[in-house]
Structure 1
Amino acid sequence: MLQINGDNVKSHLLLILCAITLSTAELHKDTQTKKFPDGFLFGASTSAYQIEGAWNVDGKSENIWDHITHKIPCFLSNCDTGDVAANSYYLYKRDVEMMRELGLDFYRFSISWTRILPTSFPDKINEAGKNYYNNLINEMLKYNITPMVTLYHGDLPQKLQQIGGWTNPEVSKWFSDYARVAFELFGDRVKHWFTLNEPKETCNQDYATGFRDLSGIADYLCAKNVLLAHGKAYEVYNNEFRASQNGNVGIVVSVKWYEPETEKEIDAAEDVAIFEWGQFIHPIFSETGDFPKKMKERIAKKSAEQGFPSSRLPNFSPEEVELVRGSADFFGLNHYSTCIAYRNESINGLYESPSYHDDMNVITYTPNDWKSTESASTNVSWGFYKVLTKIRNDYGNPPIYITENGFNSEIGGILDDNRMSYLKSYLNAMLDAISEGSDIRLYSIWSLMDNFEWGTGYKSKYGLYEVNYTSGKFERVPRKSAYFYRNVLKTRVLDINFEPDMSVPICEEN
């Protein structure tokens, strides 16, 4: 973590911590239950590479995570891979049984591009892959659990990566072709589609994309192409499937809250929000479309100073602006945490130039006092409230689907009081935003079960269900938080003082 300097830092941190303490105190003082709106939906989320396993069976081809985790020497700690993950390719019926135990309204999962289209293109549809997703969807519908599907969740076909991946302008066409196949195969039963999960992470996590030495160039090319891919997939659904399938389509953006360290740092906090998530929200949800004006001006100015003949941020044509603008029926939002943002003389020379972070020109950090000794997660729910309020105020109050929110424990075990406390706090903050007019339609916890968590492998544990990775059987055991979440779904109220009775098996609760 970066250390901050300045005579007044301690006083500012004390003010921040006092605000958090008061917020937490108010939460625990609240002995009233709070009712969720009628029709509000609850679910849980996962993604294909993180749970399915079966990485090279039944016709599935290699994706970028298959490729990178098999490199020698090992790329991740413990040489973790998603080769088997939670073995959901074979245990999908147990996964649906867990959904029933919890009483989920819906389940959000992703389709593996390479499991459906092993060549990366629609010239060949893999029957085994199609059957797997049909079986999963039909098993859910048998018990009135609504399937919600993400088309892309981090697992680009390796064949496409080798020809530029998300930096190749043709990728938007490749993706829309893939989307069309998914709509054709599953759209008679799937009515909620998420085109891409977390475009910023797709473009900036260089351990998967290989863009490490091209920051400030490749990540912006990727950003434009991801947005065009989303826009084209939305257009495909509108033109070819909406009338007959009557579903909806959106995108999922990861949104942190950035709190200014002092009142003087409001611009710094706004700048980091513009770069981190505004570059993907503004083109879709603003009235004007296109990348945010401040971002365009900043990068153009720096590019000129660095000797580039034009801005490193690619332009959208007027036609592309219109393709992307308004191309979402809802706003999919992933939120986990809040950071402090500031900018002072210590930033000079801190970041390599040119680069994404040099363009942004802001330092962010998480105060040590916010961190749990058992987890990398922080319980700063007022940041969640501020995110939801800003989206309502800045983007015309779009329908919001909260597609991921959850707590990372690095200890494991089934007595996860920290996760339960986190959920109470964040659900409470969400209800506060709803009470003030935010149009929030559903909430999905990450995650249904422990899974492969990308760069941290199996060290991070987000699951309502603990997965036994050592027995070879991948047993799923409900944690205390699963009992809490089950009660919320059953009663449709948030009771801050509720304590689960784990003596009764969750499958026997009425």
Structure 2
Amino acid sequence: MAGRKLPNNLKLGVATSAYQIEGAWNSDDKTPSIWDVMCHQPNNIEDNTTGDDACKSYYFYKRDIDMLKFLGVDFYRFSINWTRLFPNGFTNITSSAGLDYYNNLINELLANNIEPVVTMYHWDLPQKLQDLGGWANPLIAYWFEDYARGLYKLFGDRVKTWITINEPHQIAVFGCGMDMLAPRINCHGIGEYLAAKNILMAHARAWHIYDEEFRKSQNGVCGIVIASDFAQGATNNIKDVEASVDAVEFHIGLYSHPIFSSDGDFPERVKRRVAAKSLEQGYPRSRLPEFTNDEIEYLKGTSDFFGFNHYTTYFYTRANYESSIIPSFYDDIGAKIVEMNFEKGVTFQCTIVPKGIRRALNWVKDTCNNPNIMIFENGFDSYGGLNDLNRVSYYRQYFDDILDAIEIDGCNITRYTAWSLMDNFEWASGSRLKFGLFQVDYDDENRKRSPRCSAIWYKQLISTRTLNLNYVPLLEDICF
């Protein structure tokens, strides 16, 4: 069979997150998260759906595992719902029902030779902690440390790959600086930077606890996942190129530089721009919080891998931010996105720019001391349908460039993860956007799952360990 052989050390998996698939939002003794609260308020979700039931994976997790077995994956990335396990938000009380659910899921995965990769935090903060300030309160670093320690104690004998926090940029900018995601603080130009520092400190505390108290006995790894959609200049004009460099530093470097660079701290370009803008706007000091010297040292090196999520590349031109919202994260960058003539999914975030993932991977290699890169999300959206050959085309093109990044550029990539195993609740977009390899029938009480062409394609990639650029998958008449 003609094609490109996959490296022997590249593990292949799929991902989901708790709020997006579990449902059972108030079952047993689970308490509300910020997403439960957001979804139950009118007009916050585009199609007015909620994650109350979602895919009902709380009840049907064994069927999810049947789907994983069908694909033949090496690992399954899922997240813990904080309030399902610790209803108070603090770790003084553990839910026996929540503990049973995650123990059963982990044990069933291992019984089927599927590695559990666990995300501690995938956006569903306990509402009780949000009421105390959430990610704007520096004490959350200690609350998260306690939470992480609780997870290590409960599951660390079986879980060997831990992700502390998924996509701090989205949490900080869209949830704290804007009102796109929960908890919708909308404190633009300030909230995102307070959250950024506190998220990083929370992550670092969770990593240090693992390193000092659990690594020797549990022999696993622990790291953070950073959204790594890339940026390029809309033209070759030096101003546009500089704008794209700033965009990368604000979107990725803000979180990667304190952890992976040799000197630590927030990136110099970000510090300079926010300080200058703050001065212009009459603030007595920069809106970007400072790290102390001790904090800079404490953060450096606190990830055993670079968790890498990527969907597309955006094109920037240097411009003043065209909005009355000042200050803001985007005004601080001083650039705007220009739509280019590329094929896209149903949203802008899935514009198909395959070369962009290779550029992003090389940026990580070059600026983050050539880390072990684990790709933990990559996917394409649609409005549904089983015959998703456009999604297959996306995966095929992106995977081709990932292999170039490995074979030609020397990027150290050890995992690839398709987002997502199945259709799920897609945050503020509700249930209308579909990212799943498997279609979920939300009109069916039992949430029937059916494999799309992309599931058949991924199954073939995994079984042959070969990227066949000419393979066209055919639908199989099967459901789960």
TM-score by length of 1: 0.90
Selected match of 1:221 from 182, 187, 194: 194
Match of residue 19 from structure 2: 49
Asked if 1:451 is matched to 2:424, the reply is yes
Would the alpha carbon gap of residues 64 and 93 (structure 1) be closer, same or farther in structure 2, given more than 3 Å must change? same
Selected match of 1:166 from 135, 158, 179: 135
Match of residue 312 from structure 1: 287
Alpha-carbon distance, 1:372 to partner: 4.5
Asked if 1:428 is matched to 2:400, the reply is yes
Residue deviations 1:377-404 (CA, integer Å, cap 9, x gap): 2221011111111111222210000000
After TM superposition, the structure 1 = structure 2 runs for residues 469-480 of structure 1, keeping only pairs within 5 Å, are 469-480=442-453
Asked if 1:187 is matched to 2:156, the reply is yes
Distance, in Å, in 1 between the alignment partners of 2:476 and 2:48 is 37
Would the alpha carbon gap of residues 210 and 475 (structure 1) be closer, same or farther in structure 2, given more than 3 Å must change? closer
Selected match of 2:471 from 487, 494, 498: 498
User: Residue 342 of structure 2 contacts residue 351 of structure 2 at CA under 8 Å; is this kept in 1?
Assistant: no
Asked if 1:244 is matched to 2:217, the reply is yes
Match of residue 168 from structure 2: 199
Selected match of 2:248 from 259, 269, 273: 273
Asked if 1:326 is matched to 2:301, the reply is yes
Residue segments in structure 2 that go unaligned for 5+ positions in a row: none
Q: State the Cα RMSD in Å.
A: 1.6
User: Residue 55 of structure 2 contacts residue 424 of structure 2 at CA under 8 Å; is this kept in 1?
Assistant: yes
Q: Which has the larger radius of gyration?
A: 1
Would the alpha carbon gap of residues 372 and 173 (structure 1) be closer, same or farther in structure 2, given more than 3 Å must change? closer
Give the match's secondary structure for 2:422: coil
Alpha-carbon distance, 1:256 to partner: 1.1
Matched AA of 1:424: R
Larger mean Cα displacement after TM superposition, 362-371 or 167-176: 362-371
Distance, in Å, in 2 between the alignment partners of 1:180 and 1:81 is 30
Give the match's secondary structure for 2:458: helix
After TM superposition, the structure 1 = structure 2 runs for residues 70-469 of structure 1, keeping only pairs within 5 Å, are 70-71=40-41, 73-205=42-174, 206-210=179-183, 212-264=185-237, 265-344=240-319, 347=320, 350=323, 352-367=325-340, 369-372=342-345, 377-410=350-383, 412-435=384-407, 436-469=409-442
User: Residue 342 of structure 2 contacts residue 352 of structure 2 at CA under 8 Å; is this kept in 1?
Assistant: no
Residue segments in structure 1 that go unaligned for 5+ positions in a row: 1-30
Distance, in Å, in 2 between the alignment partners of 1:190 and 1:177 is 18
Would the alpha carbon gap of residues 54 and 348 (structure 1) be closer, same or farther in structure 2, given more than 3 Å must change? closer
Match of residue 26 from structure 1: none
After TM superposition, the structure 1 = structure 2 runs for residues 29-68 of structure 1, keeping only pairs within 5 Å, are 32-68=2-38
Alpha-carbon distance, 1:39 to partner: 2.3
Distance, in Å, in 2 between the alignment partners of 1:141 and 1:226 is 31
Would the alpha carbon gap of residues 135 and 260 (structure 1) be closer, same or farther in structure 2, given more than 3 Å must change? same
Residue deviations 1:72-130 (CA, integer Å, cap 9, x gap): x3321231100000000000000001000000100000000101110000110111101
Residue deviations 1:314-371 (CA, integer Å, cap 9, x gap): 1111111111110000000000011110014xx2654522111111111013325433
Distance, in Å, in 2 between the alignment partners of 1:177 and 1:373 is 40
Alpha-carbon distance, 1:309 to partner: 1.5
Give the match's secondary structure for 1:471: coil
Alpha-carbon distance, 1:445 to partner: 0.3
User: Residue 211 of structure 1 contacts residue 218 of structure 1 at CA under 8 Å; is this kept in 2?
Assistant: no
User: Residue 104 of structure 1 contacts residue 489 of structure 1 at CA under 8 Å; is this kept in 2?
Assistant: yes
Distance, in Å, in 2 between the alignment partners of 1:36 and 1:226 is 35
Residue deviations 1:187-234 (CA, integer Å, cap 9, x gap): 000000000000000111133344554211111000000000000000
How many corresponding residue pairs?
Answer: 473
Would the alpha carbon gap of residues 102 and 218 (structure 1) be closer, same or farther in structure 2, given more than 3 Å must change? same
User: Residue 351 of structure 1 contacts residue 357 of structure 1 at CA under 8 Å; is this kept in 2?
Assistant: no
User: Residue 153 of structure 1 contacts residue 196 of structure 1 at CA under 8 Å; is this kept in 2?
Assistant: yes
Identity %: 46
Alpha-carbon distance, 1:503 to partner: 4.8
User: Residue 321 of structure 2 contacts residue 336 of structure 2 at CA under 8 Å; is this kept in 1?
Assistant: no
User: Residue 450 of structure 2 contacts residue 479 of structure 2 at CA under 8 Å; is this kept in 1?
Assistant: no
Distance, in Å, in 2 between the alignment partners of 1:190 and 1:374 is 35
Would the alpha carbon gap of residues 301 and 374 (structure 1) be closer, same or farther in structure 2, given more than 3 Å must change? closer
Distance, in Å, in 1 between the alignment partners of 2:347 and 2:212 is 49
Give the match's secondary structure for 2:226: strand
User: Residue 15 of structure 2 contacts residue 77 of structure 2 at CA under 8 Å; is this kept in 1?
Assistant: yes
Give the match's secondary structure for 2:47: helix
User: Residue 101 of structure 1 contacts residue 506 of structure 1 at CA under 8 Å; is this kept in 2?
Assistant: no
Residue deviations 1:400-458 (CA, integer Å, cap 9, x gap): 00000001011x11111001011100110100000120000010000000000001111
Match of residue 16 from structure 1: none
Matched AA of 1:120: G
Larger mean Cα displacement after TM superposition, 368-377 or 313-322: 368-377
Residue deviations 1:251-275 (CA, integer Å, cap 9, x gap): 0011111110122211000001111
Matched AA of 2:192: D
Would the alpha carbon gap of residues 485 and 230 (structure 1) be closer, same or farther in structure 2, given more than 3 Å must change? same
